[in-house]
Structure 1
Amino acid sequence: MPGFKDDILKVARGLGIPTGQFDAVSIHAWPPIMKRIEASFIMKTDSNTRFNWWWESFKGKRVSIFFENGRAFEQLSQLIEADEVVWFIGCDTARDPSKYWLFQGAVKAIQQVIGEFYAFEYYVVSKKYDWLLSVTDHDELIGLGSMTARMERLN
């Protein structure tokens, strides 16, 4: 039975998005990337190795904007350079909220994929680990790191 990762990749390919614009990160590459993201942006309070509900434990200053229409993803291209390749982390909110899947891609491709799904939690992270964007399943767009200044201009 296909899972969340397969569903996302199927949608991306169905939209004609090439692998150079959006693809999954290999199972061998993702653990150190996820750990570095967690170390950069998440306050760890116990030894739980799951990557769920990060937005409840963010480090440092944050800027939040609520989007009652569930369309926060439409703002991503206002915040991220079009040619920047970023990490995209999707949470399998409906089936197993402890499962996170790591992809990489350009913002336009990521927006196209997100637009085909409904109400799931995801994160977009700079490959330099200097900012993180989160969209919660509560329609809140949260920015951390150097993204806070860009978010304040949107508000």
Structure 2
Amino acid sequence: MRKERSLLRKNWSNLRAEIANIITKKEISKEDFRPLSTNENWEKIENNIINIFCNLSHSNKKPAWIWTDFKLDTFALSNLAQRPENYLDKLVDEEENVWYIVNETINESDKFWFYEGKIKTIQIIIGESWFSDLYIVSKKYEWLITINHHDTLIATGKTMSDKLRRLETIKK
């Protein structure tokens, strides 16, 4: 009971609690998926993502929706035959650890929650939870994939937009 109560504290969002419950229910190991700890510099990760992948405007203010301000080669697919997350393991190597970032609106402000994991496990988390926008980012900041609240699958960065283009050709 003590563990559940900590998940429902004021500073825990419903989404974070939901993801924590999925991790427990599915017995997901920390090697396959974990939240970033308070000692890990999520702000630096967020700033790197914004600076590498986005055009900054409005006095270098972080864009509300990162996917609207990409500056690198970008490709998007919508109206897919399956849910967009079902294609992620066709784009990302199963053994690669990536950043998983999910967006949630709390008190009319956007908040990003940061996790690290493998793509197959991330697909489980996505399938079992809700989200507004989510991002999957190479830990080397080479590419970024997003699924936005319109269920559009978007890829940008080194090779990833081309991978998504090839996937579109295969899926036709």
Give yes or no for TM over 0.5.
yes
- CA shift, 1:142, in A, is 0.4
User: Structure 2: which 5+ residue stretches go unaligned?
Assistant: 1-7
Does the aligned pair in 2 maintain the 1:65–1:142 contact within 8 Å? Answer: yes
Q: How many residues align?
A: 155
Deviating above 4 A after TM superposition, structure 1's stretches of 4 or more consecutive aligned residues are 48-51, 93-97
Counterparts in 2 of 1:12 and 1:48: CA distance versus 1, 3 Å: farther
User: Any residues of structure 2 matched to 1:1-155 within 5 Å, and which?
Assistant: 1=8, 2-3=12-13, 4-28=15-39, 29-47=41-59, 49-50=61-62, 52-67=64-79, 71-93=83-105, 98-145=110-157, 146-155=159-168
The structure-2 alpha-carbon separation of the partners of 1:97 and 1:137, relative to structure 1 and needing over 3 Å to count, comes to farther
Q: CA RMSD in A?
A: 2.0
Alpha-carbon spacing, 1:117–1:94, altered in 2? closer, same or farther (3 Å): farther
Q: 1:28-73 deviations in whole A, cap 9, x for unaligned?
A: 4211111111111011102465463111111122110003577100
> 5+ unaligned residues in a row in structure 1: which ranges?
none
Which structure has the greater CA radius of gyration? 2
Alignment check: 8 A CA contact 1:133 1:141 kept? yes
The 8 Å contact of residues 55 and 70 in structure 2, kept in 1 or not, is answered as: yes
Specify the SS of the correspondent of 1:98.
strand
